Amino acid sequence: MSSILIKGGRVIDPANKIDKTANVFTLNGKIKSVGAQSPKADKVIDAKGLIVAPGLIDMHVHLREPGKEEEETIASGSAAAVNGGFTSVACMPNTEPAVDSEASAEFVYLQAKRTGKANIYPIGAITKGRKGVELSEMGQLVRGGAVTIISHCEDKDLVPDGVMNDGFISAVLGLRGMPNVAEEVMVYRDIALCELTGGKLHIAHITTRGAVELVRQAKKKGINVTAEVTPHHLLLTDESVKTSSFDPNYKMNPPLRTKQDIEALAKGLKDGTIDAIASDHAPHSPEEKDVEFNIAPFGIIGMETLLPLVLTELVNKKVITLAQAIAKLTVNPARILGLDKGTLTVGADADITLIDLSKEWVINPDEFKSKSRNCPFRDWKVKGKAVKVIVGGQVVN
């Protein structure tokens, strides 16, 4: 038998409405008790002054394997995940070949298991080869380990070769815009289809004030829709492209939008319209990313910066509470993905993240575990860091 006693930390478990100083005891990879008990254990961790939370979940990452292992592998992505405090991540299917079959989903699962670090769950492609012609075998994907379907809401007909938002900044810079309406018309369409079918819909990386309002009204009508937001869409605007002198690390899809959109996102995060925070971790090699802005690929890395940015810019600045932040990184994504995770309930898997809220540090992508360095937050001063990560009752970071 293997056991761990985590002593004297502030336990925050939104799934069970717990926020108190307590001991957490794990036995054979499961949560055995949360409370004042102090049983003997093989390993004792002094958590005084630390937050003890359910293992964090990043429900939107790109790990590139198979196909672009020079940018990221499942092993390096798993290492980056636990370095950022995440015990579980869900990876997107836009690999080469796509995750569109039972075998390809099993490949992701087995590669993750070999790393012995984070739990990794593949998101299945809706169509074979992601070509939009023939549906994938959904049942087989689920049997192979795929967990859900996520909607990237964007009307491609409205953003041909677009690289930026459709506002003043894109016009000044002479770049083709990616208008808010391209996202909003697809959010409206997918919500309408969800209502018609009585299905379940999750909106990835929501970015516009109009889209937030559409989700808010859908929830009021009882439609089963959820949404996520990324730190970069909450903290950066399209002005950043101009002030950074066209740094390709500010190019992502959806694009950075306006201050008014950010205010709407923050409000949606606070009032529960937006359920989860995800990184949309999208690694690219320097050779691929360090080119002219208009031809650079979309995306930035984010698993190792998500937690400190949320703590520094959202919790410390009272945009959301600490309990809200942890809920949007644990129980909420677990429920959306249908995972039995994100909680310290007795009998649950012993996935636990210990967080030091007082840890001050400077973001340096050169020190990351990810294979890529495409990060717009270099040299940002942050406060808060995951200092110990436990997955299945094993300390992995």
Active site residue ranges: 280
Give phi and psi for 175, each to the nearest 5: -110, 145
Q: To which residue do tokens 């809401």 refer?
A: 153
Q: How many CB atoms lie within 10 A of CB 151?
A: 19
Positive or negative CA dihedral for 311, 313, 317, 319? negative
Nearest to 94 by CA among 257, 280, 227, 312: 280
Task: Calculate Rg over the CA atoms of the chain.
Answer: 20
CA 368-363-113 angle, to 5 degrees, is 30
Nearest to 130 by CA among 90, 96, 160, 98: 98
Whole-angstrom distance, CA of residue 341 vs CA of residue 147: 13
Give phi and psi for 135, each to the nearest 5: -65, 145
Bridge partners, residue 135, by sequence: 127
Q: Are 254 and 204 in contact (CB under 8 A)?
A: no
